[in-house]
Amino acid sequence: MSESQVYDEVENHSTVREVCANGLRMETSAVEAKLDEGNIQEAESSLREGLSLNFEEARALLGRLEYQRGNLDSAVRVFDGIDLHAAIQRLQPSIAEKRSSRRSRSNESVTTVSQHATGLLLEAIYLKVKSLQKLGMIAEAAQECKSILDAVETIFQSGIPDVQVENKLQETVSKAVELLPELWRQKAFALFLLYSGVEANPPSLASQVDDSYVPKNNIEEAILLLMILFKKFHLGKMKWDPSVMEHLIYAFSICGQASALASQIEEILPGVVNRCDRWNTLALSYSAAGRNKVALDLLRKSLHKHERPDDLLGLLLAARICSEDSLLAFEGVGYARRAVANAIGQDEHLKGVGLRMLGHCLRKQAKVASSDTERSHLQSEALKSFNEAIAFERDNPDILIELGVQYAEQRNSNAALGCAKQFIDVTGGSLLKGWRLLALVLSAQQRYSEAEVVTDAALDETAKWEQGPLLKMKAKLKIAQLMPMDAIETYRFLLALLQAQRKSFGSPGSHMVQVEDDNEFEVWLDLAKLYSRLSQWKDAEICLEKAEAFKPYSAAIMHTEGKI
């Protein structure tokens, strides 16, 4: 193959730039001047005359020149003038020509030149893809990649007589495939795994590579793919796509990995996502992971007067977090009132949610009231808020539970009993909290045997992992009925359940493990008190030691030890 048949790269000789083809060389200064003036057609004519090129070849070299100069927009405009499919059809020899080329060295030379021209055109489209990718035009880049693959398929069907040219084409194809936007391929597959409803089994152990991570199910694989996309965003290899974060939030939420989600959101570079949106999403993630203090600090920044003080969802989340802590209840009342005010005339449902949160915060605030008068006033305000919320959320049975609890705390057991029965009727008895409230109200009325019947019925309808609160309630009902041995037996069942749950919830220190630890601590402490009533001091001390392993400096343990 002669050197004149090779289309070279644009070359730099000290300060002089040259372009060469067909054995001819040409300085690019005049061509670049025309490009700088926007005269693409004149620049193309100069190359065609100076290097004996056709239209597509001249455009390919012009585009390459602009790409190497960093003028991506101009490079794309130049490359847009190339009709790749039509050019390749013209360059591909017919079957008769290919047969005759085997007998004629001149024809073989022409054929080889046409293959080189084809390679030049493919490279031009590849550089166009690179330019589009750098400009953030992902969809357009993907379409151009597809055109390269289609063109190469046509070329290989016609046969390639030169090995070196074949290698060049294969190299271009490999680069084009690498440039196919990962966003299209990985994201589409991740969404299929998340929402298809079809579960694939993991590969057999024999086919797995040592020390490699193999997803156990579709959700894990989807999360892995989405996290890879996140990494590419962080490295600047892809344009930010907010839908990826939305799908990742959904994937992590359905598998209860809120902490992992928060870690991913923390890695998002500043400026990619609006900072208030980032704070709110992080707050939601940390709240789900049980880190309410961190979540509330983030929301305080988001709801600052210089940020988004009237953000409805942020206000509601902040009010909900505050409603779980009596010391934060006063702050939560402020958030809830602002949410209700902002929801007026905008979203009736969220206004109802705001009234519910207001009721919860007022109820918590009443628990730390400094006087009976203040406590009574706050409880009345809470009851009023729950009743107002019903008007906006008639289809939400949870309000009946909340209203029933508020009635119970105000010693209105008959009203509380009515709410519990109404909730069970509305939900068909499918939810545990309805049965618990009914049993608690019956117990408060000293109707212990009826409360136990309700608890047993609920246990029969409840999955094993959810039976803990019911077993604890049943044990206390046994104690109230002066049946301590039955209570001890029930506590033993409950301990076995809690210990099995802790083992199944994964790594130590997770939120769910901490919850089960707290529950087990309370069971051991209750058992210690129960054994002390029975004067079984040794058993009581053993139970206290078990409880102390969870909370060594608990005031409740010290108080019980003193009584023993």
Tokens (6 digits) for 331? 């702050």
What single-letter DSSP state applies at residue 53? Answer: -
Tokens (6 digits) for 299? 């929301």
CA distance 318 to 320: 5
CA distance 43 to 75: 13
Q: Average pLDDT of 196-225?
A: 64
The domain segmentation of the chain, as residue ranges, is: 3-178, 483-564
Is residue 308's pLDDT more than 70? Answer: yes
Which pLDDT score, from 0 to 100, does residue 69 have?
Answer: 86
Q: Which of the two residues, 84 and 336, has the higher pLDDT score?
A: 336
Partners of 13 in beta bridges: 16
Of the chain, the percentage scoring pLDDT greater than 90 comes to 21
Which pLDDT score, from 0 to 100, does residue 206 have?
Answer: 47
Answer whether 169's CB lies under 8 Å from 152's CB.
yes
Which pLDDT score, from 0 to 100, does residue 312 have?
Answer: 92
Partners of 137 in beta bridges: none
Answer whether 477's CB lies under 8 Å from 469's CB.
no
Q: How many CB atoms lie within 10 A of CB 266?
A: 10
* Strand positions, DSSP E, 4-125: 11-13, 16-21, 24-27
CA distance 39 to 60: 16
Q: Average pLDDT of 33-60?
A: 81
Alpha carbon of residue 411 to chain centroid: 45
Of the chain, the percentage scoring pLDDT greater than 70 comes to 77
Is residue 203's pLDDT more than 90? Answer: no
Nearest alpha carbon to residue 530 among 480, 456, 495, 459: 480
Tokens (6 digits) for 245? 């974060």
pLDDT in tens, 506-521: 544 455 555 666 778 8
> What DSSP assignment string belongs to 401-419?
HHHHHHHHHTT-HHHHHHH
Give the 3-state secondary structure of residue 296: helix
CA distance 521 to 237: 50
Least trusted range by pLDDT, from 244-258, 375-389, 405-419: 244-258
* CB-side neighbour CA atoms (13 Å) of 207: 5
Nearest alpha carbon to residue 232 among 176, 187, 175, 276: 187
Q: Which of the two residues, 312 and 59, has the higher pLDDT score?
A: 312
Which residues neighbour 311 within 8 Å (Cβ) at sequence distance 6 or greater?
Answer: 276, 280, 302, 303
Which pLDDT score, from 0 to 100, does residue 504 have?
Answer: 72
CA distance 342 to 354: 10
CA distance 6 to 120: 10
- Sheet architecture: strand order including 24-27: 11-13, 16-21, 24-27
Q: Average pLDDT of 219-240?
A: 80
Which residues neighbour 195 within 8 Å (Cβ) at sequence distance 6 or greater?
Answer: none
Which residues neighbour 452 within 8 Å (Cβ) at sequence distance 6 or greater?
Answer: 439, 474, 477, 478, 481
Helix (H) or strand (E) holding 518: helix 511-533
**pLDDT averaged over the chain?**
79
Alpha carbon of residue 280 to chain centroid: 14
> What DSSP assignment string belongs to 260-281?
HHHHHHHTSPBTTB-HHHHHHH
pLDDT in tens, 318-334: 999 999 999 999 999 99
Which pLDDT score, from 0 to 100, does residue 294 have?
Answer: 94
pLDDT in tens, 90-113: 655 543 344 444 444 444 444 444
Which pLDDT score, from 0 to 100, does residue 329 have?
Answer: 93
pTM: 0.57
Is residue 184's pLDDT more than 50? Answer: yes
Nearest alpha carbon to residue 133 among 29, 239, 281: 239
Model confidence band, residue 185 (pLDDT cutoffs 50, 70, 90): low
Model confidence band, residue 561 (pLDDT cutoffs 50, 70, 90): confident
Which pLDDT score, from 0 to 100, does residue 252 have?
Answer: 86
Which pLDDT score, from 0 to 100, does residue 9 have?
Answer: 46
Tokens (6 digits) for 18? 């040259």
Is residue 67's pLDDT more than 60? Answer: yes
